[in-house]
Amino acid sequence: MPKQSAAKNKRHKTGKKSPDTEKLTFVRASGPEDYKKIFEYNIDAFSDTPDFKWTLGDIEHEVQDGWDLYSVNLGKDTIAAVFLKKDKDRLLSKNTAIKMNYQGSGHSHKIKGFIEEKAISLHARYIYHYCRIDNFRMYSLNESHGYRKTNHKFGENGQVVEWMKTLKD
């Protein structure tokens, strides 16, 4: 009997199959029921940022302001949320942190890939990404995906920084 690779038998910290054996999916929220489901599912996992409070009212406000909300799902578990907004030739993006027990499995790179695919499909020339000034994991991720930090800062005391990536024609 041939040996199975370690990845096939590997279990995640949750006791479920390893995330690398499951497919990450992105589901666009289509109304208040979806917003509530994402909010309630993630209420304990996601923290507030200087430009955004993780409340149902603030989520609805973001959507009313033109942002599309996506749940990031691994199997049946929602592990993060992504906000996207098309503005002329730019795609604006921000996302929550990945739930702690799913970090370190490459999902952040897949989220970046999703954002970049959406930008291309929407014919954007630039992607702008916003994150906390102290989110060094996101700094490293942005740099590894070809983003450069701009001089623009937002939020209380400039706690949110802007990153920009030019897409190839």
Q: Could you give the CA distance from residue 111 to residue 90 in angstroms, rounded to a whole number?
A: 18
For 51-76, the pLDDT digits (tens) are 556 788 888 988 999 999 999 999 88
Closest CA to 72 of 46, 33, 92: 46
Q: Which domains does the chain have, with CATH numbers?
A: 18-166 (3.40.630.30)
Which pLDDT band holds residue 152 (cuts at 50, 70, 90)?
very high
Q: What is the DSSP letter of 78?
A: E
For 83-138, the pLDDT digits (tens) are 999 999 999 999 888 877 788 788 999 999 999 999 999 999 999 999 888 887 88
**pLDDT given for residue 42 in this prediction:** 58
Query: Could you tell me how far CA 58 lies from the centroid of its own chain?
Result: 17
**pLDDT given for residue 43 in this prediction:** 52
Long-range pairs, 143-149, Cβ under 8 A, ≥24: 144/109, 145/109, 145/112, 145/116
